[in-house]
Structure 1
Amino acid sequence: MALSRKTDNNTVRIHYYDSIEDAHPYLTPLIVCPGLSETAEEYLDLLEALLPRRSILLSFRGRGHSDTPDSGYNLAHHIDDIASVVRCAALEHFHLLGYSRGASYALGYAQGHQKQIHSLIVGDYPAEHRAMPLNWPEDYINQYLIPCNRIDDYIRPSAVYGIQRESSQISLDDPLDIPVLATRGLLDGSMVSDVDLDRYKDLCSHLIVKEYAQSGHDIRENEKALFYSDIIRFLDTIG
């Protein structure tokens, strides 16, 4: 149902899926930016649900079938990964979805390329790019990735260390004059506080908010069907 492709971003090959062969050209495509340890494969069900709209699902550097460079894990490098997929897929206008930390990459891209973006969807993440503490890699690898079998095939340890080493705290506070769907869980664990939501209201001139009463940060696990239907409804409203 989707083509598997790779594009070259300054010698780093970035893998993505593209449903172009089964999509209708009159619908604006969607690019999906997965979360920190997520891969493109985990969104193939969304790609199928979105048909006949074209979807492009990418795996960022160090994840999935993309390359794992020794360095190059700051916000700008991840934004460049998106840009390389945009060029390879020959996209002029598109919707952009980012989930969890992938939302910061998507938001960073959107703030620099608003003329390309029809709309932005933010999955439970504040308008910022976060620095990671020194002890984060070991905790993340040993307490989450290994117990949940998310090591290597999902994200490589060297990428985890690279993200910690190179990430800086950046406020993504450029105004957005495009439609934005901001989503957040209402239970403990959500990464979007009331203060964060107020920031989105200040930044976005066309904001829709969706909240999920049975989820914290894990909207895709706890309320996936509702989350996906909200995404589809939002995109269909815009076109």
Structure 2
Amino acid sequence: MDIGSHRASNGKIEIHYLVSNEQDSSVPLLICPGLSETAEEYVELMTYLSPRKCVALSFRGRGQSDTPESGYDLEHHVSDIAAVVADAQLNRFHLYANSRGVAYALGYLEKHPAAVLSVLLQEYPAEHRALPEGWAEDYLLTYLVQFSRQRNIRPEAVRGIERESTQRRLSKGINKKLLVLRGMLADSLLDEEDCRRYERLCPDAAFAVFGRSGHDLRQTEKELLYRTIGDFIL
């Protein structure tokens, strides 16, 4: 499988993204990673889905993307997706997002629904969350340092996300084929009310539950997760 490395211009910054199987003519999958994830962490999924074309981006402040001093609210991350879609010339695609990437993907879908064929949303409610004072330092110390993920997201980005993120319920109806992927253990970020809300946003929404997982489905039930994604976008 061939994987190309690219950079999309978004104003004064550049957003790094990977493309697998660039010559494949089937409908590609666009991958929006979680809060501190990078495009590179989705190479295994891209390999699993081969020969389908997949595009995975690293949001601003993550991976090989640029790290601006400011610009970390919802609309800024949505613009990162739009820049990659334009640069990769994606005219029609499936949209998959994990964790906080779900908020960014739904924000993109509100503004640019035409090209999206179907939507897969993993382990996050239909909202963009503001973050409390002190969250950034706690996240840096108890998660990024503890699990050696400091290179995935820069401290400036973590602090910018705390400083700039505003609370917003993403309430526009989803007129697309939708699959919500949900862990069933205590650390899942989706509860019953969140799922009912997705049903109100998309009456035909389907749900895939992972009984041995909490929030991190890839860590505990990777094979089932990959198979579920692949089956949905056939």
TM-score by length of 2: 0.98
Which letter maps to 1:201?
E
Q: CA deviation at 1:135?
A: 1.1
Distance (Å, rounded) in 1 between the aligned partners of 2:114 and 2:56: 21
Distance (Å, rounded) in 2 between the aligned partners of 1:215 and 1:108: 26
Partner residue, 2:176: 178
Q: Deviations over 1:108-142 (max 9, x none)?
A: 11122221100010010000000010010111000
Which letter maps to 1:192?
L
Partner residue, 1:83: 82
- Report the secondary structure of 1:183's partner residue: strand
Partner residue, 1:127: 126
Q: Deviations over 1:127-178 (max 9, x none)?
A: 0000010010111000000010000x20000000000000000000100110
1:217 aligns with 2:212: no
Which letter maps to 1:65?
Q
Partner residue, 2:199: 201
1:10 aligns with 2:11: yes
- Report the secondary structure of 1:229's partner residue: helix
Tell me the percent identity. Answer: 47
Partner residue, 1:156: 154
Partner residue, 1:230: 228
Q: CA deviation at 1:51?
A: 1.3
Distance (Å, rounded) in 2 between the aligned partners of 1:107 and 1:49: 25
Contact preservation (8 Å) 1:185, 1:211: yes
Contact preservation (8 Å) 1:185, 1:216: yes
Q: CA deviation at 1:107?
A: 1.1
Q: CA deviation at 1:19?
A: 1.4
Distance (Å, rounded) in 1 between the aligned partners of 2:204 and 2:6: 34
Distance (Å, rounded) in 2 between the aligned partners of 1:82 and 1:20: 20
TM-score by length of 1: 0.96
Which letter maps to 1:10?
G
Distance (Å, rounded) in 1 between the aligned partners of 2:20 and 2:228: 20
Contact preservation (8 Å) 2:21, 2:50: no
Distance (Å, rounded) in 1 between the aligned partners of 2:96 and 2:6: 19
Q: Deviations over 1:11-70 (max 9, x none)?
A: 11100001143x520x10110000000000000011111112110000000000000000
Over aligned residues, Cα RMSD in angstroms?
0.8
